[in-house]
Structure formats: C-alpha cells, structure tokens
Structure 1
Amino acid sequence: MLKKVMEGVHTVAVSGHLRPDGDCVGSTTAMYLYLKKCYKNVQVDLYLDEVPDVFREIKGVGDILHKKKDVAYDLFIALDCGDKERLGFAEEIFDRARKTFSIDHHVSNRNYGDENYVLPDASSTCELCYNLFDKEEIDRDIARSIYLGLVHDTGVFQYSNVSRSTFEAAAFLITKDIDAPALIDETYYKKTYSQNQIMARTLLESFLLLDGKVIVGSVSKEVLKFYNVTTKDLDGIVNQLRNTKGVEVALFMYELEDGIYKASLRSNKEVDVNAIAGLYGGGGHIRAAGFSMPGTAHDIANNVAREVEMQLNRIR
C-alpha cells in the first residue's frame, strides 16, 4: 500500500499527534527514516511537537521541524493521530498537501485521509508501519523506532491489544541488533527524581469512587510549578493508577491552563473508555483514551464516574 501511495511523489511531510508519546515518536521517525532510505530522490520532512527527553536518542528526532515550511507537499503522512485537529501546527500543512495518508490504530479515527490504513485492533501504529515496510529495508535504526512504539503502546507487551503478530514483529526487530532491554529500561521504566516525586504525590492524593471501581488522580498547575516539572514528566502515572487492585477505570488529569484539564482514561476489562472520552470531544482506544475539558478536577471526576457506572450497570 505504501508503494502505491508513494507513486509520483517528490515531497513528503510526516507528522503525528500533539504531545507525542512512544508510539507517535516511534512511528513518525520509523516512517521518516524508511522513506529517506528507500526513496533517496524524495524530499522528506518530519514535523512534530516537542518530544520527551527520553526519546532524544532515537534516530531522526534531531531532524524534527517545529515550524512549517512554505511548501505544498505532494503527500502528507499522518501517523498515530485520530483526527487532523490533533496534528497541531502541522494541520495547516496537512490541508495544503496534494494527497494525504492516515496510518493509525485509534478506534476513534474517522478515516480523514485521502488514503487510510486504520486498524483499531493493532497493538500500535508502529506495528502498522512494520506491516507496510519492506522487511529487507528495515535496518537497526528503523527497527529501534518500531520497537519503541510496540513497547510503549502495549505496556511492555502486557495489554490486551497484544496479538501473535505483535510478538512476531518484535521477534523480527530484535534480530536487527537492537538492545531491547536497554531501550525498554531507558525510555519506559526509568524516571527522574522529580518525576518520581510528582507520581508519588499524585498517588498519595488520589481517591476512589464507585466502591473502588474508579481511581482518580490530578495535578494542578501550581503543583507542576512546585516540583519544577512539565506535562512531559507525567507519563506513566495513569498506568500506575490503573494497577491498583480492584480498580476498573483510572482517571488522571493535569491542568493545561486555568480551569482546563487534560484527562487520560485507562480501563482493565469491562469499560469502553473511548466511548466516555467521545462524549467530551476526545477519543482513543477501548482501554485507553483521553479528552480535554474545562471545569474542576472533582467535577470531571464525577462526570466520568457517572458514565462508568452506567456502563457497568448495563454489563450486569
């Protein structure tokens, strides 16, 4: 499919969603490196938001452009992005491109590209990149990028989105001489002292709703400032909340600006959090989703808890 999309193309822009995570960084850099290698006469530019420091050693991150060029690209490839509005400043580049291609695994994706490769059951967008690439052209750097996304969007291969094809992809990638344990440790597990502090405070101040079925944690702008951290330092908190015994849904919120919160939802087995996020203009996956909305943290928590309760009541 990628070969067909690339026919007659001389300029390509590659981008992903705002506040890029491991799968976004992995899939965009993998695509960037692959196109640079396989289509040497094609101009390829990578646009992305600021990436977390833990991803700085991934090849291609140093080439990221944060300001748009005055170019109408032949092709825009959007990766790991459920809708074009989440492209941020790159949305304008998307709109000007002569052809667009969306590669994604979010169930909320509405096939907004001219061409679309959207498989909600896939573990990650990186797994979809692996499917599209000629395996003989996947070198060590491309393999590291793809493996990064597999690791981060599966919680190190523990989430329900993992399938046989995910493990087959991982098995192939480690044959490319990547140091898989180091990549996992450095980008997924290791935290700075400040990151551990903010996580500890969030866990300490978290509270339970619905007889322990929902756990809620939040971070205000004042707390972020107190610990001298940014929103990029909050990765992993919602998953740690989800690990609480007896919890079905974890809700983690942080204040983007005065009275506006970014909320992340995770569920274990029963609740479709994508459906809940969709009520507030967000989306994602059945077991992992997010949204942004104005209000207090407690108001948002109560709204989410009400929707969780309705779903649980229907199941029972």
Structure 2
Amino acid sequence: MKIKLSEILQDTKTVAISGHIRPDGDCVGSCIGLYLYIQQEFPDVQPTVYLEEIRDSFKFLEGSDRIIYSCEEEKVYDLFIALDAGDKQRLGASAKYFDTAKRTVCIDHHISNPGYAQTNYIEAKASSTCELIYDILDEDKIGKNIAEALYMGIAHDTGVFQYTCTSSKTMQIAGKLMDKGIAFTDILDKTYFEKTYLQHQITGRALLESMRLMDGRCIISGLRQRDIDFYGVTPTDLDGISALLRNTEGVEVAIFLYEANTQEYKVSMRSKSYIDVQKVAQFFGGGGHVRAAGCTMQGSMHDVVNNLTREIAKQMPEEVQ
C-alpha cells in the first residue's frame, strides 16, 4: 500500500529515521534523501538520522555530516521511519527508538520483510528503497541535493542498472533525477566504481582463492579473520565481491563469506536466473531479494559451505546436483 508522506507526518514533531546495520548506498541514500526533504518541506518537523558509520565516499551528500552514529541518548520520538531494513533486528542499536516511538513506519523493498511496523510500505518489485522514497515525494520539490542521494541509492542497488530488479520505471526515475542537474557520472565513479588499493588487494585474494562446485554452476570464496587482519580492511571493504564472483562465465550462483567472529560467518549470495538465494538465506535466518541475499551462520567455514550448498542444490537442475 503506497503511503503519503504528508499523512504519516501528520501530528508529528519529532521523527527518527534509520536504516540497516552496515549501511550501503541505498540505505544511506534513502535516509539522507528523506531527511533533506522533510527539513525542506516540513519545517515544523524535526528529523534525526541514526546510522552506523558510513563510507567516506558517501559523505559528499548534503546532510551526511548530521547523521548520528550513537544511540546512547534516551529519547522518545513521535515517529520512527525504518528504511531498507528487512526486519527490526537489522536496525541494530537504533531499534531502541523504534520500540519506544509513538508510531512506526517501514519503507522497504526486501521480499523477506514481514511488515514489522505499524504502517508498512513494502514493494518487493521495486529496485530500491530510494525508488520508493521517490514515489512518496513531490517530484517538483525534489532539489539537486535530494536527487543526488536518491540517484546514488538506486544506482547502487541495481548494480548501476544491470540487475533484474531494474525496471523501465526505475530508468524513468533515474532520468528525472539526472534532470535535476546532478553530477551522475561523478557519483557513480566515486561511490560505486572507485576502490582503494587495499580493496583491490583483498578482492584479488578472494577471486584467486575461489572454487567452483556443482558442475561449475556455483562459485564460492571465503576469507578468515586472519586474512582480513593481514590486509587491514574492514567489512565494508568487502562489498561487491559476491557480485564479481557472479560474473564468472557459466556460474549461476555466487557465495562469498567472511569470518566476523570466531566460528561466525557473514554470507553474501548472488544469482543470475533461476536460483532464489532469498529462500536459501531465509532458511538460515537471513533474507534479502531473489537474486541478492545474505545471512549470518555459525560453525567452521567447511560446515557453513556444506550447509549452504546443500540448500542451493535443492534448486539446481537434477543433472548438476
């Protein structure tokens, strides 16, 4: 059910806006875009954005310097808006404000989202949460600063408009945002394509040590904590590795995992055409989209890989199981 921003902000003086842990481009773009629009069009409403630390490349966005990274302060908000978070746990520390808020709204495009807020606008067919934010705003009132945030988010969640979640509507919205005068090529270069030297090194390590299974239809790569420590990278430096693995010729599904704690692995999965990785992720307590999903799993790397491939094999053609 599509919502109207003016309606959800009715009788609201304070609003907390937050997204998922380890915020990506869509999460940051939707939070900042909505924040800037509320500030611009609803001067009587005081919005606050809570997120975990964002990438330096995202900090060109106007308003990014006003993000609150700590949730230690005890506050009760009139409204809490959750963006791009498939479940309440994905909100991380900011979930405390969700629990105490007088009203809650969730805007998201994850098919696994159960609709955990009082009001939910969930469209699994949407390319991104930024696309849904665009839908609830007045197009004529979207300025360049807001357009930059929304364009960045849409571009990131569509893999620069190459993933199957990209629709003709997505392209039309992107075009309208470009017409606002944004430096769209710079946004893509600086926030999506450009990588640090260490990112290239760790990506090269992951690609070099990858292996193929299931008659070459599945490709897997994993990093242990000692590898991450050796290169001096953080989890955000590992973004995009699963998508690169997916681009391997003959591969249908790609799995990338890294050790976050002892015997705990973060898993990212991507598929091309017939494997529903969201079902696999959901089986292990995670979620996401049909072609892009993730979860957290316990055990040794060997156990995690075996458990994942066993579930993926159920969707593979019989001749490659």
Bin for the TM-score computed over the shorter chain: over 0.9
Query: 1:36 corresponds to which letter in structure 2?
Result: Q
Q: Which residue of 1 aligns with 2:202?
A: 198
1:85 positional shift: 0.7
SS of the residue 1:107 aligns to? coil
Q: Which residue of 2 aligns with 1:97?
A: 101
Tell me, yes or no, if structure 1 residue 214 matches structure 2 residue 195. no
1:315 positional shift: 11
Q: Which residue of 2 aligns with 1:228?
A: 232
Q: Which residue of 2 aligns with 1:2?
A: 5
Distance in 2 separating the partners of 1:61 and 1:292: 29
Q: 1:266 aligns with which of 261, 265, 270?
A: 270
1:227 positional shift: 0.7
Distance in 2 separating the partners of 1:22 and 1:142: 14
Q: 2:62 aligns with which of 38, 59, 63?
A: 59
* TM-score normalised by L of structure 1: 0.98
Matches within 5 A, 1:30-69: 30-68=33-71, 69=73
SS of the residue 1:66 aligns to? coil
Distance in 2 separating the partners of 1:294 and 1:204: 25
Q: Which residue of 2 aligns with 1:112?
A: 116
Matches within 5 A, 1:233-252: 233-252=237-256
Residues 1:314 and 1:105: Cα distance change in structure 2 (over 3 Å) = farther
Matches within 5 A, 1:112-191: 112-191=116-195
Q: Which residue of 1 aligns with 2:257?
A: 253
Matches within 5 A, 1:269-284: 269-284=273-288
SS of the residue 2:179 aligns to? helix
1:313 positional shift: 3.6
1:52 positional shift: 1.6
Distance in 2 separating the partners of 1:47 and 1:10: 17
Q: Which residue of 1 aligns with 2:303?
A: 299
Q: 1:23 aligns with which of 23, 26, 31?
A: 26
Distance in 1 separating the partners of 2:319 and 2:39: 49
State, as a whole percentage, how many aligned pairs show the same letter.
47
Distance in 2 separating the partners of 1:67 and 1:277: 29
Q: Which residue of 1 aligns with 2:92?
A: 88
1:125 positional shift: 0.3
How far does the alpha carbon of each residue in 1:18-74 deviate from its partner, in whole angstroms, 9 at most, with x for none?
A: 000110011111111111111111111100011122212122221111222322100
Runs of 4+ in 1 over 6 A off after TM superposition: none
SS of the residue 2:107 aligns to? strand
- Matched positions, count: 316
Distance in 2 separating the partners of 1:302 and 1:140: 48
SS of the residue 2:316 aligns to? helix
1:95 positional shift: 0.4
Distance in 1 separating the partners of 2:39 and 2:50: 15
1:96 positional shift: 0.3
SS of the residue 1:186 aligns to? helix
Residues 1:314 and 1:44: Cα distance change in structure 2 (over 3 Å) = farther
How far does the alpha carbon of each residue in 1:210-258 deviate from its partner, in whole angstroms, 9 at most, with x for none?
A: 1111111111111111111111111111100000011111000111111
**Deviates most, 301-310 or 82-91:** 301-310
SS of the residue 2:17 aligns to? strand
How far does the alpha carbon of each residue in 1:139-186 deviate from its partner, in whole angstroms, 9 at most, with x for none?
A: 111000000111000000001001111011001001111011110011
Q: Which sections of structure 2, spanning at least 5 residues, go unmatched? A: none
* TM-score normalised by L of structure 2: 0.96
Q: Which sections of structure 1, spanning at least 5 residues, go unmatched? A: none
